[in-house]
Amino acid sequence: MKPIRVLVVDDSAFMRKVISDLINQAPGLETVGIARDGADALRKIQELKPDVITMDIEMPVLDGMSALEKIMQVNPVPIIMLSSLTREGAEKTMKALELGAVDFIPKPSGQISLDIDKIQNQLVEKIFIAAGTKNKIASTANEFKSVRPSIPSVPNIKSNVAGRPHQLSKLVLIGTSTGGPKALQEVIPKLPASVDTAILIVQHMPPGFTKSLAERLDSLSRIKVKEAEDGEKVLPGCAYIAPGDYHMLVKSNAGSDRSMNIVLDKSPPRGGHRPSVDTMMESAVKQFWSHMVGVVMTGMGNDGAEGIKLIKGKQGKTIAEARSSCIVYGMPKAAAETGAVDKVVPLGEIGEWIVRML
């Protein structure tokens, strides 16, 4: 097989050299070229026709965000963004995923990371995943140029969580990975303000980024969306996103209101993931007594498949995203193959089916 050809884009000569070396050390990968900024990258793409691009966000002349947008419009290629672990970096990363980046990797110690070799395994894995999305990226670039839902101004319609009855009788459990941030923007904003359920979400993502994801979804949605906090009460009309590097579980209370609280813990990763979709779903099945809907969307691997079976075993309803809309058809495929999925539907219909099943 031909090696996967990677274009490395970074304004630091040191970073270009080290990232290129890390790629070249991996069997099946080769650095086909380097670019010092976004403008240089646009020229090199035409010349070198890479399979995957690694792109720094912060660069002079033409930064990574602007270059990403132009590439998706003119010559779509799978792009992995390299991001700094700052608040601003997290916000820009969320925007990059909206604009079409397949995934991102946090630099371990800032813009010039002398210990960049720490991310070699992660970098290699994500390049292989990104290469597998090449045809998908090209075919869907136009479809996803704008992901902002056409809904009224959020402040006028935001669900009043505080004013709702706190009796929790319905729970939606969503799991996703690669392609998930963009996919969630096609689902959560479509839920009505009157939805009488709580939503628990596991998005495979490193620490420092889930808060920005929650804030972005909250700004687009009729319901409240927030990063989950340990011990907080689970309320109808609110979506809770598991923080990066924490499993999210629930614990039921013995009181008359039969309420539930979030539990965050750092028990070992499950299937290589923390947070784990299966861990969240398993906890809900053990602790929750009423109506559940389980949803598995785009992502590599099989996280969520066991959880979907458990939900179905408790007479819950289950949904898997269809191959046609997945950036990576791994997790939904594994879920569907369990035989425990009620509906396999494209991304644009998932929000509607969640409401129907509730």
Please list the residues that pair with 33 across neighbouring strands.
7
166 is a catalytic site residue:
no
Distance CA 304, CA 162 (A): 31
List, as own/partner pairs, every contact residues 273-276 make where C-beta atoms lie below 8 angstroms and the sequence separation is at least 24, other chains included: 273/204, 273/301, 273/303, 274/245, 274/246, 274/247, 275/202, 275/204, 275/242, 275/243, 275/244, 275/245, 275/246, 275/247, 275/248, 276/202, 276/247, 276/303
The 3-state DSSP class for residue 327 equals: coil
Active site residue 66: no
- Which residue among 103, 283, 303, 325 is the active-site one? 303
**Per annotation, catalytic residue among 83, 159, 177, 276:** 177
Count of C-beta atoms within a 10 Å radius of residue 12? 17
Catalytic-role residue among 204, 218, 273, 278: 204
> Is position 278 annotated as part of the catalytic site?
no
Q: Alpha-carbon distance 108 to 234, whole Å?
A: 33
Let me know if 51 is exposed, middle or buried by CB neighbors in 10 A (0-12, 13-18, 19+). Answer: buried
Respond yes or no on whether the N-terminal peptide bond of residue 243 is cis (omega within 30° of 0): no
- Residues designated as active site: 177, 204, 303
